[in-house]
Amino acid sequence: MDVELQLNVENLISRYVHAIDDDRLEDWPGFFVEKGRYRITTAENYERGLPLSIVYADSRAMLRDRVSALRHANIYEAQRYRHTVSSTLIERIDGNTARATSNFQVVRIMHTGDSMLFAGGRYLDRIRLDGNDSRFEEKLVVLDSRSVDTLLAIPL
Amino acid sequence: MSAGPAARAWPAEGLARVPYWIYQDEDVYRREQERIYRGDTWNFLGLEAELPEKGDFKTTFAGEMPVVVTRDETGAIRCFENRCAHRGALLCLKDRGNLKEIVCVYHNWTYDLRGDLTAVAFRRGVQGKGGMPADAEPESEAPRKFRVEVFCGLMFATLSDKTPPVERYIGPGVAARIRRVMKQPVKILGGYTQVLQSNWKLYFENVKDTYHASLLHLFFSTFRLNRLEQKGGVVVGGEGGSHVSFTMMKTDSSGDEYEKAGMRSVSGGYRLEAPQMLESVDEYGDGVTLQILTVFPGFVLQQIMNSLAVRQVLPKGVGRTELVWTCFGYASDDAQMTERRMKQANLVGPAGYISLEDGAATGFVQRGAAGASERSSFVEMGGRTVESNESRVTETSVRGLWQQYRRHMGL
């Protein structure tokens, strides 16, 4: 096993989920390359080869627009996430690129105190390797369930 | 114990008030199953394009009743209760698939694609022993069959002989607006389900409520993507429970009408960095950028720029509703058009820039009115009656819903 590669990728994913859980959403687009792709879809759509996403961006600019909308336009009750990521398998594509598959679960904590298992599934990532500055070229979030409770505002 | 519907009286103000018990009462909910979903209304089942081949099936619901929808060996769409005649087990356990016949897993009773019982395992017993009496008629408890009508590629079903044909049920004004969107063969692009923590009627009102659109959904105004002088209108159809609203919105990042009007939503002067997401084409040649259409009790058809979807509103208890979204394009779409629809899908669904709030707003009413079952909501925007209107600052289509609802419910 390439331990350095494993640590590099796991570190990127850990920093990514901590940024979201700590409400540092403004840092979120920076985990992607400039033309990075981010999609959330369901396992059903993914397995049937259907292109629909719940969220779809193909640039950092689109990710920044989503953060801007969440901060200034969209209305939703105060809530936080707590991500748990595990079982990351990594495959090197070439010297600069790797593919990673991880399991994740997200607990959503509402301001009322209600907590629920909000989302679970896989991260299917393609990563541009660059020492301590590795970034996602693509992050595909595949939800195991086709159902989302109420709304999905904060990214996964 | 809650009071039964008979003990409940609708407020004297009529359609201009909606009593909160209507969203909370278990007896009302049970009566809705019988009088609305199993009564003389059309239940929306999905797009015909979901079942392209003979033998294709899907499972869904008519209210709470589980149903199987099939394309039979003649190519006709059929719908019947997803319940075995024998012990009541689900006949089809999968969401979708292709079958030649349907076999109940519990005791192997077999059905054809129309829902007719064709074989009972060991009906005559084994080696002369056991089996059913010769005069047994298990068919008498067969799954109930629906009348099915496919209108413009949309599958509807009713258990009642009295339900008028779909086009008459929804009226010509709404029917014309379905034809506008369902103008050619469609291609399924995917789907998802949004779980709403509210009564189904709160969501159905929300979709019909043209008044809230520019007030709750601040995405367009925050990024200065619309103008105040949007043209449009509302058409109420059928018995009142079906409607279409449409808007001719110019997306335009210049102009300062919102600032002049002092709207809080634009105080920040925010702009999209990637407004390409909203680059749309006029597919209908009429300048209508947004059309929302409903058919009582649970169908929504949406055109938001080039984002097309049907939504099925399924009740899951007094305080819980599932909204089943299916997004589609046209079979003739090229890759660029599909990509455009996929980008604009960011506007809709549980994470949609202009629809995520709806998931929460209906829950706010369910929670807000928890202690006010004897009080009412106040629905007088645009008057106290039901009529089509050029202004969308009206609740006319919300009142239309209650007009049809009350007739079915005898309330």
Residue B80 located in a structural domain: yes
Query: What is the predicted pLDDT for the residue at B1?
Result: 45
> Is the peptide bond between B11 and the residue preceding it cis, with omega within 30 degrees of 0?
no
Do residue A151 and residue B218 have CB atoms under 8 angstroms apart? no
Among the partner residues B268, B345, B350, nearest to A152 by beta-carbon distance: B350
Query: What is the predicted pLDDT for the residue at B227?
Result: 56
**Domain limits at B233?**
172-409
Query: What is the predicted pLDDT for the residue at A154?
Result: 98
Query: Any idea what DSSP says for residue B345?
Result: G
Residues 177-206 of B with CB under 8 A from A: 188-197
Q: Which residue of A has its CA nearest to B353?
A: A74
At B253, the pLDDT band (50, 70, 90 cuts) reads very low
Q: Which residue of B has its CA nearest to A70?
A: B353
Q: Which two tokens stand for residue B307?
A: 């984002």
Q: Which two tokens stand for residue B267?
A: 């105080």
Residue B245 located in a structural domain: yes
Do residue B192 and residue A54 have CB atoms under 8 angstroms apart? yes
Instruction: Give DSSP secondary structure letters for B237-263.
Output: ETTTTEEEEEEEPPP-S---HHHHTT-
In a mutagenesis test of the B interface, which of A117, A151, A152 is the best target, namely the one with the most B β-carbons within 10 Å? A151
Strands B321-330 and B186-196: antiparallel
Q: Which two tokens stand for residue B107?
A: 């005791």
Tell whether B247 and B108 lie within a shared domain. Answer: no
Tell whether B209 and B127 lie within a shared domain. Answer: no
Residue B352 located in a structural domain: yes
State the pTM of this model: 0.94
Whole-number percent of chain B with pLDDT over 70 = 92
Q: Which chain A residues are within 8 Å of B343, Cβ to Cβ?
A: 56, 58
**Average confidence (pLDDT) over A112-130:** 97
The reply to whether A106 touches chain B by the CB within 8 Å rule is no
The reply to whether A62 touches chain B by the CB within 8 Å rule is yes
The reply to whether A64 touches chain B by the CB within 8 Å rule is yes
Do residue B222 and residue A69 have CB atoms under 8 angstroms apart? yes
Tell whether B202 and B115 lie within a shared domain. Answer: no
**Residue-averaged pLDDT of chain A:** 97
Residue B32 located in a structural domain: no
Tell whether the model's pLDDT for residue B92 goes beyond 90.
yes
User: A73: helix, coil or strand?
Assistant: coil
Residue B405 Cα distances to B20, B235, B245, B255, angstroms: 15, 18, 20, 43
The pLDDT tens digits for B47-78 are 999 999 999 999 999 999 999 999 999 999 99
Tell whether the model's pLDDT for residue B228 goes beyond 80.
no
Pair B189, A50: CB distance under 8 Å:
yes
Residue B350 located in a structural domain: yes
Number of A–B residue contacts, CB under 8 Å: 121
Q: How many Å is the Cα radius of gyration of chain B?
A: 23
Tell whether B250 and B111 lie within a shared domain. Answer: no
Tell whether B128 and B266 lie within a shared domain. Answer: no
Distance, CA of B338 to CA of B83 (rounded, Å): 38
Q: Which two tokens stand for residue B47?
A: 């797009």
Tell whether B129 and B183 lie within a shared domain. Answer: no
Q: Which chain A residues are within 8 Å of B342, Cβ to Cβ?
A: 51-53, 56
Q: Which chain A residues are within 8 Å of B277, Cβ to Cβ?
A: 62, 65
Residue B388 located in a structural domain: yes
Burial class (CB in 10 A: 0-12, 13-18, 19+), A84: exposed
Residue B407 Cα distances to A70, B34, B212, B325, angstroms: 42, 13, 26, 28
Residues 76-105 of A with CB under 8 A from B: 76-77
Distance, CA of A126 to CA of A139 (rounded, Å): 7
The reply to whether A148 touches chain B by the CB within 8 Å rule is yes
Tell whether the model's pLDDT for residue B265 goes beyond 70.
no
Tell me the domains of chain A and their CATH numbers: 3-143 (3.10.450.50)
At B218, the pLDDT band (50, 70, 90 cuts) reads confident
CATH code, B275: 3.90.380.10
**Average confidence (pLDDT) over B112-117:** 98
Tell whether B51 and B186 lie within a shared domain. Answer: no
**Helix, strand and coil in chain B, % to nearest 5:** 25, 25, 45
CATH code, B61: 2.102.10.10
Q: Which chain A residues are within 8 Å of B188, Cβ to Cβ?
A: 50
Distance, CA of B186 to CA of B71 (rounded, Å): 17
Tell whether B324 and B199 lie within a shared domain. Answer: yes
Distance, CA of B299 to CA of B331 (rounded, Å): 22
**Boundary of a domain, candidates B95, B116, B149:** B149
**Average confidence (pLDDT) over B80-99:** 97
Least confident range of A105-119, B93-107, B259-273: B259-273
Nearest to A151 by CA among B358, B303, B312: B358
Do residue A51 and residue B195 have CB atoms under 8 angstroms apart? no
Tell whether the model's pLDDT for residue B217 goes beyond 50.
yes
Q: How far is B209 from chain A (nearest CA, A)?
A: 17
Residue B67 backbone dihedrals phi, psi, to 5 degrees = -135, 155
Q: How far is A16 from chain B (nearest CA, A)?
A: 20
Q: How far is A87 from chain B (nearest CA, A)?
A: 26
Distance, CA of B350 to CA of B400 (rounded, Å): 27
Structurally, chain B folds into a number of domains equal to: 2
Residue matched to tokens 């009348």: B147
The more confident residue out of B38 and B218 is: B38
**Boundary of a domain, candidates B101, B134, B149:** B149
Tell whether B119 and B220 lie within a shared domain. Answer: no
The reply to whether B238 touches chain A by the CB within 8 Å rule is no
C-alpha neighbours within 13 Å on the C-beta side of residue A47: 8
The reply to whether B342 touches chain A by the CB within 8 Å rule is yes
Residue B3 located in a structural domain: no
Taking each helix axis from N to C end, the angle separating B200-208 and B396-409, rounded to the nearest 10 degrees, works out to 140
Q: Cite the beta strand spans of A43-149 per DSSP E.
A: 55-57, 79-94, 97-110, 115-128, 135-143, 147-149
Residue B274 located in a structural domain: yes
**Boundary of a domain, candidates B89, B118, B149:** B149
The H-or-E segment that residue B368 falls in is helix B356-368
Do residue B327 and residue A42 have CB atoms under 8 angstroms apart? no
Taking phi first (over 0 means left), then psi (-120 to 50 degrees means alpha), and beta for anything else, what does residue B382 get? left
**Residue-averaged pLDDT of chain B:** 92
Tell whether the model's pLDDT for residue B6 goes beyond 60.
no
Tell whether B260 and B350 lie within a shared domain. Answer: yes
Tell whether the model's pLDDT for residue B264 goes beyond 70.
no
Distance, CA of B32 to CA of B30 (rounded, Å): 5
Least confident range of A97-106, B214-223, B250-259, B308-317: B250-259
Single-letter amino acid, residue B381: M
Strands B186-196 and A147-149: parallel
Q: Which chain B residues are within 8 Å of A118, Cβ to Cβ?
A: none
Q: How far is residue A34 CA from its own chain's centroid? A: 16
The pLDDT tens digits for A43-71 are 999 999 999 999 999 999 999 999 999 99
Q: Which chain B residues are within 8 Å of A54, Cβ to Cβ?
A: 192, 349-351
Tell whether B133 and B203 lie within a shared domain. Answer: no
Q: How far is B187 from chain A (nearest CA, A)?
A: 10
Residue matched to tokens 């298992």: A117
The reply to whether A72 touches chain B by the CB within 8 Å rule is yes
Asked whether the ipTM of the predicted complex exceeds the cut of 0.90, the reply is: yes
Tell whether B114 and B185 lie within a shared domain. Answer: no
Residue A107 Cα distances to A14, A118, A149, angstroms: 16, 5, 12
Taking phi first (over 0 means left), then psi (-120 to 50 degrees means alpha), and beta for anything else, what does residue B347 get? alpha
The reply to whether A111 touches chain B by the CB within 8 Å rule is no
Nearest to B154 by CA among B328, B333, B385, B16: B328
Query: What is the predicted pLDDT for the residue at B20?
Result: 97
In a mutagenesis test of the B interface, which of A70, A74, A154 is the best target, namely the one with the most B β-carbons within 10 Å? A74
Instruction: Give DSSP secondary structure letters for B117-130.
Output: EEE-TTTT-BTTBS
